[in-house]
């Protein structure tokens, strides 16, 4: 059984990545979740895909939440907290081989300096 992760947005919410949430993500985005996880790179995750994944997981505990609401609740001020919660949810619920892959990509991502245009 999938384990929910608590995320604080407008209020404390539960994010659950069960099979139903993954199905919602796939149907809404057209992306096969296993393909995404096998080559997981957070730098290539579009904002639309991020909103869709968050919506799919949040809607498992709150069926009234919409993708538009999710987009309004996530901003630059809390994006890293949200990404950490997403990573935690993946770590809690994925098989070990995919956990290792996600953790490695996360560590590489956090080590990269932020590039700004000059």
| Model confidence pLDDT, tens digit, residues 74-90 | 998 988 888 888 878 87
Position with higher pLDDT, 1 vs 73: 73
Question: What per-residue confidence (pLDDT) applies to 60?
Answer: 95
In-domain check, residue 105: no
Cβ-contact 24, 17 below 8 angstroms: no
In-domain check, residue 115: no
In-domain check, residue 114: no
Interval 24-79: pLDDT, tens: 999 998 888 777 766 666 666 788 988 999 999 999 999 999 999 999 999 989 88
Question: How many structural domains comprise the chain?
Answer: 1
In-domain check, residue 73: yes
Cβ-contact 42, 109 below 8 angstroms: yes
The range of the structural domain enclosing residue 62 comes to: 5-98
Q: What is the pTM for the complete model shown?
A: 0.74
Q: Which residues contact 114 (CB under 8 A, 6 or more apart)?
A: none
In-domain check, residue 113: no
Residues 102, 48: Cα–Cα separation, whole Å: 20
């Amino acid at each position: 059984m999938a384990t929910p992760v608590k995320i604080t947005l407008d209020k404390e919410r539960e994010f659950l990545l069960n099979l139903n949430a993954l199905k919602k993500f796939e149907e809404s985005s057209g992306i096969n979740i296993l393909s995404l996880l096998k080559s997981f790179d957070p730098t290539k995750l579009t904002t639309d895909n991020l909103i869709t994944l968050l919506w799919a997981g949040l809607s498992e505990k709150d069926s009234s939440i919409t993708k538009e609401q999710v987009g309004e609740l996530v901003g630059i001020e809390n994006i890293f907290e949200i990404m950490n919660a997403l990573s935690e949810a993946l770590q809690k619920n994925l098989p070990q081989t995919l956990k290792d892959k996600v953790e490695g990509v996360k560590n590489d991502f956090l080590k990269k300096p932020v590039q700004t245009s000059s």
